[in-house]
Amino acid sequence: MTRQPEAEAQRMRRWRRARRVLAVRLDNLGDLLMTTPAIAALREGLPDDARITLLCSRATSQALPHLPDVNDAIVYDAPWVKGEGGHRPPRQDHELIGQLAARGFDAAVIFTVYTQSALPAALICRLAGIPLRLAHCRENPYDLLTDWVPDPEPASGIRHEVERQLALVARLGFRTEDARLRFRTRALDEASLDERLHELGVDRGQPYVVVHPGATASSRRYPAERFGMAADAIAHATGAAILYTGSGAEEELVRRAQASMRRPSYSLAGRLGLGEFAVLLRDARLLVSNNSGPVHLAAALATPVVDLYALTNPQHTPWQVPSRVLNHDVPCRNCLKSVCPQGHHDCLLKVEPEAVVRAALELYGLRDSVAPCPAFSTDRLSQPAYA
């Protein structure tokens, strides 16, 4: 009668003695940030001299200097995770297995969103000889995982991504009292950002609002023109400067947003590294953004967020930060699609710019100051083009 509890206690002791731990998170920056509380729980429960190595995608490897609980990283663009790297030859998989085997890891924790399978990563970790392997999995993984947590999602409901990952490590007794997202800024990025802003004639000491109109998936993009209209009204009501951000590929979105404004604004699209962007968000009064990585970065930095949240996925809302989540309910919610399968984008298109402004001013502390603004003239609102 006591064998199972004894075996479980022995397994937990083995995990507690691990000194070389691999944390696998192979997707996007937001997913990685939402995993940082679980990684912190590992750090708190492992020996003081333990090292945590992150196995991550190339896209998220730039976050390594900013993750306080991670010692180093191995970069791997997994063929079973959506990416933009094109064909990835099998030799890369063999090289990874060799690299993991050479490092002699004691344990691996495989973090996945509920729509992903942990089995490919579990197989690689087993082939690399990692003796302890933990993950959520819906099907029986047999010996691919030494510690299998049956995945209750989505059949029993869908948890927030942070809760999902905390629950995974908690099965082995790893917990933290501080469930906030982790991201540390650096002084060198502050100096670099000051240079970027000086080039634009912007003083970082003045109040400003960051507006991020981009997102990797077209289904998650609120129209750029509406971002501009809302930003114009926010600037009108607050006097704050409007700073647009995005990748170099999103410069056209920013130009379209700026064209819908009468007040001046500034574009930093394609001009900031991750560290500089983090400092910019940390000191902003507010972020107005699509549901994308910047929302989770802002949450890690305690910056309030207005999140234009397309109803494609339910589990990625802003975590433990003052926020307003805006969308219009639709029957096709939780579609999990990168392109709207219905073609109407109603979950975002039916959110009016006035609602964005109202939410922003509430977070800004100006709940009763939503003043009429010429930005909301209907002749300036065009139907957006979705790529």
pLDDT at 1: 43
| % of residues, the chain, pLDDT over 90 | 75
| Residue 149: other Cβ atoms inside 10 A | 17
pLDDT at 386: 32
Nearest one of 165, 162, 183 to 294, comparing CA atoms: 183
On the question of pLDDT at 244 being above 80, the answer is yes
Q: Which residues contact 167 (CB under 8 A, 6 or more apart)?
A: 149, 159
pLDDT at 369: 55
User: How many Å separate Cα 118 from the centre of its chain?
Assistant: 19
Domain 3-170 identical in fold to domain 188-380: yes
On the question of pLDDT at 299 being above 90, the answer is yes
Average pLDDT, rounded, for the chain: 89
How far apart, in Å, are the Cα atoms of 94 and each of 40, 100, 190, 241, 259? 30, 10, 40, 51, 50
pLDDT at 375: 46
Q: Which residues contact 184 (CB under 8 A, 6 or more apart)?
A: 66, 67, 68
pLDDT grade for 337, boundaries at 50, 70 and 90: confident
pLDDT at 85: 52
- The DSSP annotation for 320-347 comes to SS-EEEE----TT-S---SS-SSS--HH
71 with 48: CB under 8 angstroms?
A: no
Fold observed for domain 188-380: Rossmann fold (3.40.50)
Q: What is the pLDDT of residues 25-37, one digit of tens each?
A: 999 999 999 999 9
pLDDT at 370: 53
pLDDT grade for 4, boundaries at 50, 70 and 90: low
| Residue 387: other Cβ atoms inside 10 A | 5
pLDDT at 119: 97
On the question of pLDDT at 215 being above 70, the answer is yes
On the question of pLDDT at 155 being above 80, the answer is yes
pLDDT grade for 164, boundaries at 50, 70 and 90: very high
Categorise residue 157: left if φ over 0, alpha if ψ from -120 to 50, beta otherwise.
Answer: left
Q: Is 144 helix (H, G, I), strand (E, B) or coil?
A: helix
Please name every residue paired with 244 in a beta bridge, in sequence order, or none if there are none: 211, 267
pLDDT at 171: 93
311 with 293: CB under 8 angstroms?
A: no
Q: What is the pLDDT of residues 100-149, one digit of tens each?
A: 999 999 999 999 999 999 999 999 999 999 999 999 999 999 999 999 99
pLDDT at 341: 75
pLDDT grade for 240, boundaries at 50, 70 and 90: very high
pLDDT grade for 385, boundaries at 50, 70 and 90: very low
Q: Which residues contact 351 (CB under 8 A, 6 or more apart)?
A: 222, 308, 326, 327, 328
Distance from C-alpha of 55 to C-alpha of 34, rounded to nearest angstrom? 15
Give the residue with greater pLDDT, 380 vs 187.
187
222 with 288: CB under 8 angstroms?
A: no
Report, at the CATH architecture level, how domain 3-170 is classified. Answer: 3-Layer(aba) Sandwich (3.40)
pLDDT at 335: 67
On the question of pLDDT at 308 being above 70, the answer is yes
On the question of pLDDT at 258 being above 80, the answer is yes
Give the residue with greater pLDDT, 125 vs 331.
125
Please name every residue paired with 323 in a beta bridge, in sequence order, or none if there are none: 305
Domain map (residue ranges) of the chain? 3-170, 188-380
In the block, tokens 């997913």 appear at: 31
Nearest one of 192, 340, 187, 361 to 272, comparing CA atoms: 192
Distance from C-alpha of 55 to C-alpha of 59, rounded to nearest angstrom? 12
User: How many Å separate Cα 111 from the centre of its chain?
Assistant: 14
pLDDT at 3: 56
pLDDT at 333: 75
